[in-house]
Amino acid sequence: MLSVAHISKTFGTVKALNDVSFDVHDGEIMGLIGQNGAGKSTTFHSILNFLAFDGQITWNGQPLTADDYNQIGYLPEERSLMPKLTITQQIVYLARLKNQPASITKPKIKEWMQRFAVKGQPSDRIKKLSKGNQQKVQLICTLIHDPQLIILDEPFSGLDPVNADLLKQAILDAKQRGATIIFSSHDMSNVEEICDALVMLRNGQAVLKGTIDDVRQQFGRTRLFLTTDWTSDQLAALNGVTNVKTIGPQRYQLQLADANVGPAIFDAVTAGHYVPEFSQQPPTLDEIFRTEAGGGVHE
């Protein structure tokens, strides 16, 4: 288990992190979200010991050791491959930095290239690959030594939906073998789809954390999907309805001031008659992000 306890970091007069705490358990995927500058990369760099910070970060209850860092797979947001190396040379080099010998790494490379649908041969030079294939090679470098702690900084950036699905499956496979995984993303659909929990940072502070469902439920079931022959004007006039959006023929999305008005709206629009759809839901993670993330000043 990764435990981040009360970490803070200041750059000059900027408080990049302010008393941030969270845990990520074995076999758990946590999403770290927030606007640019909220403190996500600073959090990752603290975990990786790239910079000094106040607070404590432990792995299985102990400070991280050199052996522990060999069990970390880290994908930085910036691409950092060496263009003159071949795919094999690049992967073997980075795996050796994690104490995995070439004799173990080389036999795995072809399989990993097939897994991520990398177009090319292991002998191809990095500079000849497309940006998307370079990114996939860097993902292989991150995962090929079977790390126990995986840190991915915007891993889906630049990936089309097909390749994003390949990455999601690799993340889920790592979870299945018990890895602890934390990744950042601006695409809330990715977070909502595969994460068990999330932490939202705003101006260096953790403003939301918990399971995906718990976070959504904090905001109440204030979204109502309704199919009815009522008009949008009639629906807007109902007590507790703050907004009505037409999303299809006789299908509407209502924003409620309070989730508790749902039963009264149900009684009004049904009046004892059948309606094809009446679904009261909490806001999506994307909607929560838009209203809660705010702005940051340093990453």
Helix (H, G, I), strand (E, B) or coil at 227: strand
- Residue 288 inside a domain? The answer is no
Instruction: Tell whether 10 and 138 lie within a shared domain.
Output: yes
Are 244 and 202 found together in one domain?
A: no
224, 95: one domain? no
- Structure tokens that stand for 30 in this block: 């946590």
Find the CATH number of the domain harbouring 145.
Answer: 3.40.50.300
Q: β-pairing, 72-75 with 149-153?
A: parallel
Helix axes 161-176, 131-143, angle to 10 degrees: 0
The helix (H) or strand (E) run that includes residue 197 is: strand 197-202
Q: How many domains does the chain fold into?
A: 2
Q: Is residue 290 part of a domain?
A: no
Question: Is residue 203 domain-shared with residue 120, that is, in the same domain?
Answer: yes
Buried/exposed 205-224: b ≥16 CB within 10 Å, e otherwise: bbebbeebeebbeebbbbbb
Q: Are residues 249 and 176 in the same domain?
A: no
| Residue 131 falls inside a structural domain | yes
The pLDDT of residue 294 is 63
- Do 206 and 251 fall within a single domain? no
Residue 107 CA to residue 123 CA, distance in Å, equals 13
Q: Are residues 228 and 189 in the same domain?
A: no
Alpha carbon distances (Å) from 179 to 2, 118, 281, 298 = 11, 24, 32, 29
Q: Identify whether residues 54 and 193 lie together within a single domain.
A: yes
Residues 45 and 131 in one domain: yes
125/202 same-domain check: yes
The residue segments making up the domain with residue 36 are 2-217
Secondary-structure breakdown of the chain: helix, strand, coil percentages, each rounded to the nearest 5: 35, 30, 35
Provide the pLDDT for residue 298. Answer: 39
How confident is the chain (299 residues) per 10-residue block, as mean pLDDT? 97 95 97 93 96 96 94 90 96 96 96 94 95 92 96 89 92 96 93 95 95 92 95 96 96 95 96 93 91 58
3-state secondary structure of 170: helix
Residues 213 and 224 reside in one and the same domain: no
> Does residue 275 fall inside a structural domain?
yes
d(CA 39, CA 61): 24
Residues 265 and 127 occupy one common structural domain: no
Q: Which of 169, 186, 217 delimits the end of a domain?
A: 217
Please, which residues bridge with residue 74 across strands?
151
Last residue of a domain, one of 217, 241, 263: 217
Residue 287 placed within a domain = no
CA 1 to each of CA 6, 24, 64, 119, 215: distance values in angstroms, whole numbers, following the listed order: 16, 6, 11, 36, 21
- The CATH number for 225's domain is 3.30.70
Long-range contacts at 206-210 (CB < 8 A, ≥ 24 apart): 206/20, 206/21, 206/22, 207/292, 207/294, 208/288, 208/292, 209/22
Tokens 């690799």, residue?
Answer: 170
